[in-house]
Amino acid sequence: MQDFFLNHLALSVLDVEQSVAFYTTVFGFKEIKNTASNSKTRWLQLNGKIQLHLIYRPKFELKTIKADHFALSTANLKGFIKHLDHLGIMYSDWIDSENKDYVRKDGVFQIYFQDPNQHWIEVNNAV
């Protein structure tokens, strides 16, 4: 079997500027050049590896459920939670208890919150 590596995530967004501001402020993504097209799609990169492509869709209607999410890990989840608190971003555990983290059966702590387009994001300490 071949080795595979995550190249990028692509999300449809209503407001590209708002989404770029969110991901750069909350996670420290850095903007990189969109080398694929001259569209309004903006590319971001995290830790020089994972790319996030924010694709402008003005008539976009997202139907979200928490089970459809992407996850990022950090060794300092408590510090990240303080960062979210400072930014006024509400988070929850899996069962929607506000401002509460959750410990999975395997001992991993996790939280969930949504971006400006209502995409669900999990952040955990499974580093």
Delineate the domains of the chain, giving CATH numbers in brackets: 8-56 (3.10.180.10), 69-124 (3.10.180.10)
Q: Would you state the structure tokens that stand for residue 60, as one six-digit string?
A: 């976009």
- What are the angstrom distances between the C-alpha of 47 and each of 30, 57, 95, 111? 8, 27, 30, 21
Task: Name the token pair of 102.
Answer: 């959750």
Stated pTM of the model: 0.90
Query: pLDDT (tens digit, 9 = 90+) per residue, 98-122?
Result: 888 888 999 999 999 999 999 999 9
Q: How far apart are CA 117 and CA 113, in angstroms?
A: 11
Q: Render pLDDT for 52-104 as a digit per residue (tens, 0 to 9).
A: 999 999 887 878 899 999 999 999 999 999 999 999 999 999 888 888 888 89
